[in-house]
């Protein structure tokens, strides 16, 4: 069993993890995706740790040696092999998990992302699985890159909502620490068309009773899936507390 990292636990076990303007800003931006419980037992299942055996963890940027130099979709040699338009009833079986800063993020050999440049990722299959990979990666990577907004611009559709989010991300003054962001736990694709897909992404831990779900919408634009930010500067809908994973497909690297 992979050993859980404890580098982000609060000293004394009684203080909140939120200790800087950076994390406060991210709480506002992400809502359900940030761990705001006290240290100690409540953090179990939420601290970032190494992906499971057989995966391909890559510290730092999340990009592995030999990655293509720039993200993008449908061009520049990008040719994902997944062509299955069926909405998945199980988790993709060709996924490895990259440790990007503090979060394990999925990468499918067939559905993408096939191109990674620092925190930005792209080149997804024009399929439900490609949309799932884009929703998970673009959401987390855009936030984890702060205050650098280049990944946000590469992965999110332009418009007033993105402009608002960009200004918020520029205020982040410290990187997210281990334990401050909850991990992906599952998903459900609530609607799919070749133009627009809504992915309900679950994060947190059932054992810690911290499961929450939020919707992330992606749109096929410029030859790739891009996040459609809702009005107000976020990337997702308000989170909904879950009591179980019923109705969702388990999916996570921690």
Q: How far apart are the first and last CA of the chain?
A: 10
Residue/partner pairs of 74-78 with CB below 8 Å, 24 or more apart: 74/123, 74/126, 74/222, 74/223, 74/224, 75/223, 76/115, 78/114, 78/115, 78/122, 78/123, 78/223, 78/224
Q: What is the rounded CA–CA span in Å between residue 108 and residue 91? A: 11
Collapse the DSSP code of 167 into the 3-class scheme (helix H, G, I; strand E, B; otherwise coil) and give the result.
helix
Beta-sheet strands, E only, within 90-137? 95-100, 103-108, 115-117, 120-122
List pLDDT tens digits, range 161-219: 999 999 989 998 887 777 778 899 999 999 999 999 999 999 998 888 889 999 999 99
Rounded to two decimals, the pTM is 0.77
**Sorting pLDDT into bands at 50, 70 and 90, what band is 83?**
very high
Dihedral sign computed on CA atoms, order 64, 65, 66, 71: positive
Yes or no: say if 45 and 203 are a contact pair by the CB < 8 Å rule. Answer: no
CB-CB neighbours of 2 under 10 Å: 13
Pair of tokens at residue 208: 């810690």
Yes or no: say if 180 and 20 are a contact pair by the CB < 8 Å rule. Answer: no
List pLDDT tens digits, range 234-253: 899 888 999 999 999 999 99
List pLDDT tens digits, range 145-168: 999 999 999 999 999 999 999 998
* C-alpha separations of 138 from 15, 17, 55, 155, 188 in Å: 30, 24, 20, 6, 17
């Amino acid at each position: 069993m992979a050993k859980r990292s404890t580098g982000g636990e609060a000293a004394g076990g009684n203080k909140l993890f939120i200790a800087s303007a950076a994390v406060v800003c991210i709480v506002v931006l992400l809502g359900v995706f940030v761990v705001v419980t006290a240290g100690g037992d409540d953090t179990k299942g939420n601290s970032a740790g190494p992906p499971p055996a057989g995966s391909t963890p890559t510290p730092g940027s999340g990009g592995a040696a030999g990655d293509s130099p720039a993200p993008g979709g449908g061009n520049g040699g990008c040719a994902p092999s997944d062509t299955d338009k069926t909405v998945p009833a199980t988790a993709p079986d060709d996924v490895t998990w990259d440790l990007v800063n503090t979060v394990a993020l999925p990468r499918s050999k067939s559905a993408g992302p096939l191109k990674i440049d620092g925190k930005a990722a792209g080149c997804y299959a024009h399929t439900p699985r490609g949309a799932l990979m884009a929703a998970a990666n673009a959401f987390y990577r855009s936030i984890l890159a702060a205050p650098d907004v280049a990944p946000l611009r590469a992965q999110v559709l332009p418009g007033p909502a993105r402009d608002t989010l960009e200004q918020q991300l520029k205020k982040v003054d410290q990187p997210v620490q281990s334990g401050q962001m909850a991990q992906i736990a599952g998903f459900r694709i609530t609607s799919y068309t070749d133009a627009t897909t809504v992915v309900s992404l679950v994060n947190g831990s059932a054992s810690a009773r911290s499961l929450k779900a939020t919707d992330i919408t992606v749109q096929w634009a410029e030859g790739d899936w891009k996040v459609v930010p809702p009005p107000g500067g976020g990337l997702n809908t308000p989170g909904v507390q879950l009591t179980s994973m019923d109705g969702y497909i388990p999916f996570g690297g921690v």
